[in-house]
Structure 1
Amino acid sequence: MGMTPEDVAITLPSTSALGDWYANILFTRPEQIVLCVSEKSRLCVLITAKDADTIAQRIEDAIIEILREIGVADSQIQSEKARMAPLAYGATTDAPAMRSVIGSMTEYTKNLDFFLEAEELTLPEIARKMSDMICGPLQYARPTEAAKKLLAEA
């Protein structure tokens, strides 16, 4: 993504209602996909990995798009967008909470493989379907519902 070691070393406390977002590049065909998952809600977004210099903006756009689709009020979306700035990159460490998010990302990766093979859906449609599935770390709530609740409480 064109980051320097100094970019990756930045550590800022998260101020967003949905928490930190974790991302991984998945080597799928015909193109690579970036899977992003919210720490607190487990909401997921998917974008293509092309054009590395626009990935950060496209992730933000995808987050805003899914929040609109699930019925989050524009005022809550704009507040969350403001809380997500500034963007900081960091390496994933081995903390228990991060391991849990990585476990969720592994589940999403398995589901993504199924959706890519079984259906003709766009990446935002797949992300929405996966975010509507129950999630163990959320006591079997849906990430879409968790996101709405967190944003309403913020």
Structure 2
Amino acid sequence: MLIVRATKKLLRLAGPSTALDDDRGTTALGPWYATVLFWRPRVVLLVNEATLLPVLLPLAPKATLTSRIAEQISTVLTAHDAPAAIIDEERLHMQTARLGVTANRSVVGVMIDFARLADIHHDDDPAVNLVALAVRLASTPCSPLYGRNISPDRELAAALQAITT
């Protein structure tokens, strides 16, 4: 099961919280945090709690958002050269997704920073490819990662290495 900790803005648009505070997902990468970017069309920004890896996907259609999250996460993992076996395993565990409320202020802060950076890139090129933008954002240094791997792309590589060994 995939747990997505969503901001109040996103929950108002995508539906009520269905995850309990103590719900634990079964994915290797752990829970994801999400917010909405008020672009035209609207976009959801997801950030992984463990690696701070950003993922962007269209909000519409809202009714299928939770079922589309796994596909977009898989696409971004592929763009980061994640092993196919790990991606397949993650997709298997992400077949069921539940929305919950945010619980980690540090991740929310990083998500806000990514949202601002994404806005700047979107202003420069409104037709920007969401996967390419997510990959670009992943190379951004993040203060919670300074003691380890500095940026989400490097943190993801280290996490994937730990999973495969």
TM-score band, normalised by shorter chain: 0.7 to 0.9
| Counterparts in 2 of 1:17 and 1:113: CA distance versus 1, 3 Å | same
Partner of 2:158: 149
Partner of 1:128: 135
1:23 equivalent to 2:34? Answer yes
Quick check: which one's strand share is greater? 2
- Classify the secondary structure of the residue corresponding to 2:117: helix
Unpaired stretches in structure 1, ≥5 consecutive residues? none
- Give the drift of 1:79: 2.0
- Classify the secondary structure of the residue corresponding to 2:100: coil
Distance 2:119 2:52 in 1: 18
| Counterparts in 2 of 1:44 and 1:2: CA distance versus 1, 3 Å | closer
1:69 equivalent to 2:58? Answer no
Contact kept, 8 Å, 1:16 with 1:83, in 2: the verdict is yes
Distance 2:134 2:22 in 1: 28
TM-score, L = length of structure 1: 0.85
- Determine what percentage of the aligned residue pairs are the same residue: 26
Distance 1:141 1:75 in 2: 26
User: Residue type matched to 1:142 in 2?
Assistant: S
Deviations 1:84-131 (A, max 9, x none): 4532221113xxxx1000010010011011100113521111111001
Distance 1:123 1:32 in 2: 12
Unpaired stretches in structure 2, ≥5 consecutive residues? 1-12
| Counterparts in 2 of 1:10 and 1:85: CA distance versus 1, 3 Å | farther
| Counterparts in 2 of 1:117 and 1:4: CA distance versus 1, 3 Å | closer
Distance 2:61 2:22 in 1: 25
Correspondences of 1:88-99 after superposition (within 5 Å): 88-93=98-103, 98-99=104-105
Distance 1:63 1:24 in 2: 15
Contact kept, 8 Å, 2:32 with 2:49, in 1: the verdict is yes
- Classify the secondary structure of the residue corresponding to 1:89: strand
Distance 2:60 2:106 in 1: 28
CA RMSD after TM alignment = 2.0
| Counterparts in 2 of 1:80 and 1:60: CA distance versus 1, 3 Å | same
